[in-house]
Amino acid sequence: MSSPITNPLRVGLRQERVIPPQCLVIFGASGDLTHRKLVPSLFELYKQRRLPSEFALLGCARRPWSDHDFRQKMAASLSDKIKESPIEWDEFCKGLFYEPVNITHREDLIKLGQRLEEIDRLRATHSNRTFYLSISPEFYGIACRSLAEANLLKDPKRSRVVIEKPFGRDYRSAQALNKLVQNYCQESQVFRIDHYLGKETVQNILVLRFANTIFEPIWNRNYISSIQITAAETVGVEERAGYYESSGALRDMVQNHLTQMLSITAMEPPGHFDPEAIRNEKAKVLQAARIADEIEPWKCCIRGQYGRGGNKEEPLLGYREESGVSPSSTTETYVAIKLFIDNWRWQGVPFYIRTGKRLPKRVSEVVLTFREAPVHLFDAAGGSPTSNQLILRIQPDEGAVFRFDVKSPGSGMRSRPVEMDFSYEQSFGEPSDEGYVRLLADAMLGDPTLFTRSDEVEAAWRLYTPLLELIEDKPWQLPIHQYESRTWGPAAADVLLARDELLWRRP
Amino acid sequence: MSPQLTLQTPLQLPPDEIPSYLDQLWEKDQPGNSGANTFCLLVWQPAWIEQELVRVGKIKAPILGTQRNELIEAARQIVLKGDLPHSTPPFDKRVVESLSELSGKEQKDDLRGQHVDSAISALQPRRLITLAPTLDKNHALEALVAAYCPLPEEGGGNSACGDVVVLRGSINSLEKGLDILDGLLPEELPAWLWWNGNLDEAPNLLSQLALPKQRLVIDTALGEPMKCLDLLKGKVTSGQAVNDLNWLRLRTWRETLAMVFDPPSRRNALNNIVKLDIDIEGKNPVQGLLLAAWIAERLNWKLQESNLLNNESIEAKFRRPDGIIANFRLVHLPIGKPSIHPGQIVGIRLICKPYQNPRQGMCVILASESGECMRLEAGGMANMELVEEVVPIQNNSVEMDVARLLSTSRGSTSPLLERAAPIATKMLSLSQSSNSAKFN
């Protein structure tokens, strides 16, 4: 939804923390993410005056660009934003630099160290450095080793490394990668980014739960009967077939984004709002989570793959017909899983998570369904009584809805459900920052709250290990169910819930 | 949080030996270490009231220069027992004048600059330089120096260290000794000047200290209002980084007012404001004018005229972008137990009336307490669509506010203050001119 007129009294009021003098070094600076997300987010931070005057961005990649080339390329891809603020761009641009670096070449790293010292002198960045690894995951370990060998990670307070997903392919590879990275830097220096955590509405789950006294007392197995977490996309695999074929929905979405939503929804209240306290609770809840049936895991997971769909005017290809995809591919584009969390708060409450491509709507949400009233005193207008639901809308149309029963107008005493709706758009009328704006700022501030810690990553991979092993070793036990593009996934996913006498919510 | 002390008893040195002594201080124990790589803070710390209270025996403790309850209470007692209106803020200039008439020769240790508030020490300043003027006008310049390590209260942690320098003496001797500051502020670190006193009390010193490269922290609630606003405007327009604690204390008002208009359904009301009333404590109008100036600037109102009525309230007219006049009134309220910050806002009332349909009016009332809400509701306001909020006023110590600035300021003036300061200055200067000027 587009934002109406900006509230003029709101402009400039945010009380943000200030990033200390800083040089952000992006490895993979010639890649897509740099000009699509990172530099626009940094320019946004600059316009909001949240970057210090002592700031520099050093782009690094193999291409033999100069500072001038880099600035021009960034300017070209941000041309729309620059049109709105040309003066700000001219100033921001002075802090952009480029150094050709092959991360595997020792002499390049020595040159990089010298360049950083030069930038320190030029921009007074005080040797505070954030290294952003926007490179292929196979180079994460090498990059950390090279940086450490060039003495660029020796001060844990002044240097940190930001790592993009995927962090490993499974539990073992994640564990090995963690060990490798931790050989060269301290855990406090590693910021594993998950852009879902940068979303205002995901963070709002914490505020909703822990700033309001009405929710926390009922946020448990005594009042909640089930929880559904959905991340639906309308798009297909698009340009990412090469990566997606080897990952699939489970690795691409579930292990990270959905599991982060799960941990924030289910975690215990932290003692205080402190990065480690929060991450401890998130890790603990993941360690207590398990696939609903560990002995027969195929009974609680449904994999699907989109087939053809659309209409005559806009026909949609099936996944196996997409460019770069094997015609006999068994990569899942849809997955639905039933989980349990074995702790006092959640024992016996099923968590259903699902994600898929080419579903009818782009929507991410968490739905908490409350237990039914113990005695039904009233007839329900819809035939059967409905449970109360709290729906936390992550995107789009960010907000929350509470469904509850009221008396249906008329002489009888019939109940019917209504909705109490909170919308960010209606209440604030301002678009939220892009997740990367928040996360880049936090990384440079050295605030790890919204980044995943090594034990969280490992716990998340371990949670899905029975399924990953099954896909690897006995794929016939987790067959791929075809579903028509722009439908809500395979019918088998509905059966998964039907066994528990439940339905997926149709967002 | 309790204040923290220096690691060692400060060493008294001849002022000109201090820079070389400090250069050696870190090198001796840890070659290559020059202490925390953070910032330097230069503090003008007159503590006149505290010095006077000690002299007349109303406080029997060393002079610390930090705001604390004992000091505030003692100053309030002087207001109550002296011949001052009860609405006099405890750190008002008149309290100093009243104290100076009392006899007394008590003396206590002067520990200004040696007791660092933990909110500030937690930020690990590289160097804290305190200028501590004395009541004795013949006091020669003394210089004290000590190493300093802020120790986390919860223990543990590895704190970067810094040092403290105290320059103590009469204003004259301090003015003469300012040369040594050049060698004490490393070029590579940001330097802040916190003028923790009235802005008009030592103009020569202030102009010598507030060099363009310094990041300035001032409080426009302290001093003669016109001089304070002129200084603020001058510094802001010169491009110097200025942080005004009086402006900082407006943040809850600005945030709450913005919150009222966050729902898009209320945005239109902002275009239809016909009246803005601001009530303030006592007589210092600066904070109220800054808030009005912020609203006017944000809504693109142009100042038309400003008058002082009955030597009490200030009334101004602004032209809205649609040509309609919005009236502003700043009213002084006598408060029995005023805040330590002169001229704090106690209430705001905004009346919005669409030109085409005045019956669809809306009244927004924000007040520091519910009694003020009720007062502002008078006159039929409750008949309109009424939005009322009680604004939570944070009673932070001035040290907490400064620490907040040190940790969050970007080394530049807030663009909102930058734009509001000239409007506030113009409102006050027009209202003070004998014939209320009118312009278009």
Q: Which residue of B has its CA nearest to A428?
A: B262
Pair (A138, A274) in one structural domain: no
pLDDT on residue A306: 96
> Which of the pair, B191 or B23, is modelled with greater confidence?
B191
Would you say residue A133 lies in a domain?
Answer: yes
In this complex, do A7 and B188 lie within 8 Å of one another by their Cβ atoms?
Answer: no
Would you say residue A507 lies in a domain?
Answer: no
Of B254, B264, B410, the CB nearest to A52: B410
Residues of A in contact with B257 (CB under 8 A): 9
pLDDT on residue A94: 92
Domains of chain B: 4-245 (no CATH), 251-390 (3.30.360)
Pair (A125, A222) in one structural domain: no
In this complex, do A9 and B295 lie within 8 Å of one another by their Cβ atoms?
Answer: yes
Would you say residue A171 lies in a domain?
Answer: no
pLDDT on residue B29: 58
pLDDT on residue B32: 55
Instruction: List, in order, residues 6 or more apart from B125 with CB less than 8 Å away.
Output: B36, B38, B39, B40, B41, B162, B406
CA separation for the pair B232, B218 (Å, rounded): 8
**Phi (first) and psi of residue A143, to 5 degrees:** -60, -45
Grouping H, G, I as helix, E, B as strand and the rest as coil, residue A129 is strand
CATH, residue A35: 3.40.50.720
**Phi (first) and psi of residue B318, to 5 degrees:** -120, 145
Pair (A261, A130) in one structural domain: no
CB A195 within 8 A of CB A439: yes
In this complex, do A18 and B407 lie within 8 Å of one another by their Cβ atoms?
Answer: yes
In this complex, do B298 and A13 lie within 8 Å of one another by their Cβ atoms?
Answer: no
Would you say residue A16 lies in a domain?
Answer: no
- CB of B419 less than 8 A from some CB of A: no
CATH, residue A262: 3.30.360.10
A residues 277-306 near B, CB within 8 Å?
Answer: none
CB B26 within 8 A of CB B35: yes
Domain boundary among A115, A144, A164: A164
Domain boundary among A108, A142, A164: A164
Residue B63 clears pLDDT 70, i.e. is over it:
yes
Q: Which tokens in the block code for residue B229?
A: 């606003």
Q: Which residues pair with B279 in a beta bridge?
A: B331, B347
Shortest Cα–Cα distance, B125 to chain A (Å): 14
Q: Mean pLDDT of residues grouped by 10 in chain A (507 residues)? A: 64 72 93 91 87 89 94 93 89 94 91 92 86 90 92 88 90 92 91 88 91 94 97 91 90 93 95 89 96 93 94 90 93 96 97 96 95 86 84 90 91 88 83 83 90 94 94 92 95 94 91
> What is the span of the domain harbouring residue A379?
197-435+453-498
Of A9, A17, A53, the CB nearest to B408: A17
Of B258, B295, B409, the CB nearest to A18: B409
pLDDT on residue B298: 95
pLDDT on residue A5: 62
- Picking from A16-20, A378-382, B30-34, B77-81, which range would have the lowest pLDDT averaged per residue? B30-34
CA separation for the pair B429, B434 (Å, rounded): 10
What size, in residues, is chain B? Answer: 440
Pair (A141, A92) in one structural domain: yes
CA separation for the pair A70, B174 (Å, rounded): 52
User: The tokens 């009469």 sit on which residue?
Assistant: B170
- CB of A268 less than 8 A from some CB of B: no
Q: What is the pLDDT of residues B192-250, one digit of tens each?
A: 999 999 999 888 899 989 888 889 999 999 999 999 999 999 999 998 989 999 999 99
Would you say residue A10 lies in a domain?
Answer: no
3-state helix, strand, coil in chain A (%, to 5): 40, 20, 40
Q: Give the model's confidence band at B2: pLDDT under 50 very low, under 70 low, under 90 confident, else very high.
A: very low
pLDDT on residue B20: 83
Pair (A271, A395) in one structural domain: yes
Domain boundary among A164, A187, A221: A164
pLDDT on residue A211: 92
Indicate if A257 belongs to the active site. yes
pLDDT on residue B7: 59
Residues of A in contact with B270 (CB under 8 A): 7-9
pLDDT on residue A156: 85
Pair (A151, A208) in one structural domain: no
Residue B335 clears pLDDT 70, i.e. is over it:
yes
Residue B358 clears pLDDT 80, i.e. is over it:
no
CA separation for the pair A26, A70 (Å, rounded): 12
Residue B435 clears pLDDT 60, i.e. is over it:
no
Pair (A129, A240) in one structural domain: no
Of A49, A124, A429, the CB nearest to B262: A429
Pair (A293, A155) in one structural domain: no
Would you say residue A75 lies in a domain?
Answer: yes
Which listed residue (A35, A105, A195, A257) is catalytic? A257
Split into its structural domains, chain A has a count of 2
CA separation for the pair A386, A381 (Å, rounded): 10
pLDDT on residue B323: 95
Pair (A113, A235) in one structural domain: no
Residue B436 clears pLDDT 50, i.e. is over it:
no
Q: Mutation test of the interface with chain A: which of B34, B37, B268, B276, choosing the one with the most A Cβ atoms within 10 A?
A: B37
Residue A109, Cβ density class (10 Å: 0-12 exposed, 13-18 middle, ≥19 buried): buried
Pair (A217, A281) in one structural domain: yes
Pair (A271, A362) in one structural domain: yes
Instruction: List, in order, residues 6 or more apart from B220 with CB less than 8 Å away.
Output: B199, B228, B229, B231, B232, B244, B245, B246, B247, B286, B287, B290
Q: What is the pLDDT of residues B266-300, one digit of tens each?
A: 888 999 999 999 999 988 999 999 999 999 999 99
Grouping H, G, I as helix, E, B as strand and the rest as coil, residue B283 is coil
Q: Which residue of B has its CA nearest to A120?
A: B188
CA separation for the pair A182, A252 (Å, rounded): 24
pLDDT on residue A1: 36
CB B77 within 8 A of CB B58: yes
Residues of A in contact with B410 (CB under 8 A): 18, 49-53
pLDDT on residue B338: 82
pLDDT on residue A376: 84
Pair (A460, A359) in one structural domain: yes
User: The tokens 């007074």 sit on which residue?
Assistant: A124
Residues of A in contact with B265 (CB under 8 A): 426
Of A7, A12, A16, the CB nearest to B261: A7
pLDDT on residue A2: 36
pLDDT on residue B440: 32
Shortest Cα–Cα distance, A17 to chain B (Å): 6
CA separation for the pair B93, B102 (Å, rounded): 15
Q: Which residue of B has its CA nearest to A125?
A: B188
Shortest Cα–Cα distance, A89 to chain B (Å): 17
